[in-house]
Amino acid sequence: MAMISSTLCPVFPYPGFKVKDFMRGHLEFYKQLCQKSTIALVVGANDIGRSSAAHIAEEVKDLCFRFHSLSPQSCILVSEILPRGRDLFHEQTPRRIESESIFLEEWNAVAAEVNCRLRELAGSFDWLTIISQWQFHSMSGAHRRLLGRDGLHLSIEGTELLSENLGSAISAVKRVVHPTVPSVLIKQDSPDSTSPVSGQPNPKSETGAESKI
């Protein structure tokens, strides 16, 4: 189980922020982007109900491209928007259950569409990955035990699961190591000339081509 460590992975929480708030100026973590091999974004839900799924996905896309332009060597991970459940702080009367069911169905449908659009986007760029949070979903909506009483924020169990999923995704990022020392072409001037590297005669291939070290 890979959990997030604030020591190894600096965390920048911005509760209540919207994507456009990040796009307005350079926050303190912008200065550290060029030093990070992986950037993980946990997308919230403050815009759902105020903007369309297409608009929200486009804003997240713009933010990812902003980060990529500032740190092109970084892999960018985006966690899916989590589903929402019933608000148990209110009395669950038949009337409230009916109205909240309609609200949650519409809300979770928008969140699912945003996630779908982001997955399609990530399929076009090798530096972008969407972190699946499938454990938070059930056939009837959100897994309620993973959410707090308000149905929006996470329970302790949900927080631990989210942290585990993020840690696993960060750990799974693979780096392609490129050779830093190019091959050296050794020219053979005469049959008994020697390699300046090994001091041994330079072999020729059957075709008489010069060898590479």
- Whether the CB-CB separation of 78 and 117 falls below 8 Å is answered with no
Query: How do residues 80-138 score in pLDDT, each as one tens digit?
Result: 999 999 999 988 899 999 999 999 999 999 999 999 999 999 999 999 999 999 999 98
Burial class (CB in 10 A: 0-12, 13-18, 19+), 175: exposed
At residue 195, does pLDDT exceed 50? Answer: no
- Give the three-class secondary structure for 204: strand
Q: Which amino acid belongs to residue 191?
A: P
Between CA 13 and CA 10 the distance in angstroms is: 10
Average pLDDT along the chain: 79
What are the tokens at 109?
A: 């449908």
Q: Which CATH architecture has domain 19-171?
A: 3-Layer(aba) Sandwich (3.40)
Q: Which amino acid belongs to residue 200?
A: Q
Delimit the domains of the chain by residue range. 19-171, 182-213
- Whether the CB-CB separation of 118 and 81 falls below 8 Å is answered with no
Calculate mean pLDDT across residues 174-203: 42
Between CA 194 and CA 192 the distance in angstroms is: 6
Between CA 59 and CA 19 the distance in angstroms is: 6
Calculate mean pLDDT across residues 44-49: 86
- Whether the CB-CB separation of 210 and 202 falls below 8 Å is answered with yes
